[in-house]
Structure 1
Amino acid sequence: MAPSILIVAADGAQSALRDMAPALVRRQPVYPWGAVWCLLPGECWAHVDVLQQRYGGAREMIGLLPVGRRVDRDGRWLTFYFSLPGAQLEGFDAAALDRLRERVAVLWPEALPLLASIDSPQQLNRARYRDVQLRRPAQGRLVFIGDAAHAMSPQLGQGVNMALLDAAMLADVLAEDTTPAAALRVYGQRRRAHLAVYQRLSRWLTPFFQSERDGLARLRDLGFGPLARMPLARSQMLKILTGTKMSWWR
């Protein structure tokens, strides 16, 4: 068998391959919060094209994210998620599912009927978030992309965007007339500034959405709405949410 020209590690935030290259890792702490989540049919939901979320301070977050269609099922689908302290995820049981329903009934009663098909805690997946930062994305012929290279909390919703941009840039540099080693150096240089903006924003904003700091939740509720209506701030918010903010100052 011919030797591999390149090995692309795209195995997510909990990357096992990343653990095999410890010299690359600058930081990878686990956030104290996570979520339970599942896919739900969206036929009875009126907002199948709009992400909607509801909050109970910064301690509770419920979301319904449109994810389009599935290859194995008909209709439109939604990802449902409910944030929890990480310590509660492993022990999420039938009693915890009952408490989840109770909180959805209080915070977002319109969404409660969507959970009618969920009758077991095993139907909900568990997600833990990491804050991953690598010194460089490649070692030898191994290169990390997506969450394996730069996992963040999900508050900006940029995990898929950043992974796709990684893949596109990697393809571009490999198509240039250069060696794989040189291409990987260029790849790291071209992605560094863009990723740094999103990693720092994610780190700063996470406590406003998932933490025990109720004061930050009040500041969020008071400030984010008016900011989004100010032309300059609104344009910057749109750039952030579309993954197109390439640096701090331009």
Structure 2
Amino acid sequence: MAGCGTAGLAAALLLHRDGHRVTLFERFESPRPLGSGLLIQPTGQAVLRALGLEAELITRGASVTRLIGHAGKHCVLDVRYAALKHCGVGIGVHRATLFAILHDAVLAEGIEIQAGRAITACADGRLHFADGPQTARFDLIVDAMGSRSPLVPATRPLAFGALWADLDWAGDFIPDALQQRYRRASVMTGVLPIGTPRHATGPRAALFWSLRGDRLADWRATGLAAWKDELLALWPATAPLLDQITDPDQLTFASYAHRTLRQPVEPGLIHLGDSWHSTSPQLGQGANMALLDAYALALGLRRARTLPDALAETIRLRRDQIQLYQLLSRLLTPVYQSDGAAIPWLRDRVMGPVSKLWPLTAAQAALVSGAVGHPLARLGLAF
């Protein structure tokens, strides 16, 4: 198992519980998460529930019932989970919370983790490392190393990424909503409640700011004061959050890419999560898709008699939903992250008002919750 991210840890647990011998390899000396906040949708929650790991997620996370976005005076996004019956809600969490839940379970079950092993290649069922000898031959290698996996072709990042900060919850924000503000599509900021991670003593918020990757150096050179002034002009309510930021290093820049492998399976190798299908964060499905992939792999191995058949079954269970969400993400990214003017104008004056009408309200809730494509029914899980 290559990679101690969401897909790797979840797959390791599932396969270990099914009686497979599993070894995890991680490039960091101490496995750790990268990034700040994320939304665990009802689909991801279903997998964690099947693993018996949902309780701490609910305790540590924050219930999110709405996604709200404003462009000036226009409300252009108002998604309510309640529009989709029996769906549930999203859970806003720090990435460290999800990581800790899965990582602790892996350690508790005695699954071997070899840390500090930077993988460079895979051949004939063996992993090759930057620091020395290759492994013995494995029956199956699971690539869960993310969008920058060395086992997949390199992908050019999308123009826009985002700066993320993990801060104390402060200010006049809706406690159960992901709130966003836009200026055209070139400027976007948001606040997500992420509950109380283990490293915190009270509720936290994830603040994000959309930024072109090629403007990151300019952002640093201009300084925090100018950035804060720009953000405050767009959204004055963020002042109590911005007061907590005194150093640029409090913000982490995340870049994104669109990529779907045409052949996610090779002899003795399967790619899961972002190494198979990476995308922009507009639909917030990354971690949830990774959990679904891991569960599909476990099902495939249970159902099939041969390894090739098991991998083919895994892909069959996941391909349709992945292709659909990849397409929708490509279509929606320019609506919220681009330098154009025409698309955001249509978003603010046409798409926003129309999206508040039934049945589009239910369609939006289904899309955000991850329910489109019925992924849970395919896996024998339920909301």
1:18 corresponds to 2:159: no
**Mapped contact 2:219–2:227 kept (Cα < 8 A):** no
Contact 1:33–1:211 (CA<8 Å) still a contact in 2? yes
Shift of 1:43: 4.9
The Cα of 1:61 is off from its aligned counterpart by 0.3
Q: TM-score, normalised by structure 2?
A: 0.59
Higher percent of residues as helix: 1
Per the alignment, residue 79 of structure 2 pairs with: none
Q: 1:8 aligns with which of 111, 136, 142?
A: 142
Distance 1:194 1:131 in 2: 15
Offset of residue 187 of structure 1: 1.1
Q: Compute the displacement of 1:44 (Å).
A: 4.7
Once the two structures are superposed, what CA deviation does each residue of 1:154-188 show, in whole Å capped at 9, x if it has no partner? 11111122112111211211222422221111111
User: Residue 95 of structure 1 aligns with which residue?
Assistant: 222
Q: Contact 2:157–2:256 at 8 Å: present in 1 too?
A: yes
The answer to whether the 8 A contact 2:171-2:238 is kept is: no
Give the stretch that moved more between structures: 52-61 or 174-183.
174-183
* Residue identity matched to 2:149: S
Q: What CA distance in whole angstroms lies between the structure 1 residues aligned with 2:263 and 2:166? A: 35
- Tell me whether 144-153 or 227-236 shows the greater mean CA deviation: 227-236
**How far apart are residue 29 of structure 1 and its match?**
3.5
Task: Identify the match of residue 190 of structure 2 among 42, 63, 74.
Answer: 63
How much does 1:50 deviate?
1.2
Worse-matched range after superposition: 4-13 or 190-199: 4-13
Q: CA deviation at 1:11?
A: 2.1
1:135 to 1:57, Cα distance in 2 relative to 1, 3 A: same
Question: 1-side partners of 2:269 and 2:214: how far apart?
Answer: 33
Amino acid at match of 1:195: I
Letter of the 2:228 counterpart = R
Worse overlay, 81-90 or 66-75 = 66-75
Q: d(CA) in 1 for partners of 2:329 and 2:354?
A: 18
Q: Alpha carbons of 1:147 and 1:192: their partners in 2 closer, same or farther (altered >3 Å)?
A: same
SS at match of 2:344: helix
Q: Which runs of 5+ in 2 are unaligned?
A: 1-134, 375-383
8 A Cα contact 1:35 1:89, kept in partner: no
Aligned pair 1:122/2:252, yes or no?
Answer: no
Kept after mapping to 1: 8 A contact 2:179/2:192: yes
Q: Which amino acid aligns with 2:141?
A: I
Per-residue deviation, residues 86-111 of structure 1 (Å, max 9, x unmatched): 10124542524223201111111101
The corresponding residue for 1:192 is 319
Counterpart AA for 2:142: V
Q: Distance in 2 between the 1:90 and 1:182 partners? A: 48
| TM-superposed deviation, 1:221 | 1.1
Q: Does 1:142 align with 2:269?
A: yes
- Distance in 2 (CA, whole Å) between partners of 1:147 and 1:45 is 35
Distance (whole Å) between structure 2 residues aligned to residue 104 and residue 110 of structure 1: 10
Q: Which residue of 2 aligns with 1:239?
A: 366
Partner amino acid, structure 1, of 2:146: G
Partner of residue 284, structure 2: 157
State which of 230, 237, 244 in structure 2 corresponds to 1:110.
Answer: 237
Q: 1:6 to 1:77 in 2, by over 3 A?
A: farther
* Structure 2 residue aligned with 1:229: 356
Q: Is the 8 A contact 1:36 1:89 kept in 2?
A: no
For these two proteins, the number of residue pairs brought into alignment is 240
Q: In structure 1, what residue type is equivalent to 2:355?
A: A
Q: 1:16 to 1:65 in 2, by over 3 A?
A: farther
Alpha-carbon separation, structure 2, partners of 1:205 and 1:46? 25
Evaluate the alpha carbon distance shift between residue 79 and residue 7 of structure 1 in structure 2; reply closer, same or farther with a 3 A threshold.
farther
| Structure 1: gaps of 5 or more residues | 23-27
Q: Is the 8 A contact 1:31 1:130 kept in 2?
A: yes
Paired residues for 1:34-45 under 5 Å: 34-44=161-171
Q: Match of 2:195, SS?
A: strand
Give the equivalent residue in structure 2 for 1:25.
none
CA distance in 1, matches of 2:277, 2:199: 30
In the alignment, the residues of structure 2 paired with residue 10 and residue 91 of structure 1 have an alpha-carbon distance, to the nearest angstrom, of 33
> Alignment partner of 2:145: what SS?
coil
**Alignment partner of 1:16: what SS?**
coil
Tell me how far 1:52 sits from its aligned partner.
0.6
State, as a whole percentage, how many aligned pairs show the same letter: 37
Cα distance change of structure 1 residues 7 and 38 upon mapping to structure 2, 3 Å threshold: farther
* Equivalent residue number for residue 310 of structure 2: 183
Give the root-mean-square deviation of aligned CA atoms: 2.0
* TM-score, length of structure 1 as denominator length: 0.88
Question: Secondary structure in 2 aligned to 1:231?
Answer: coil
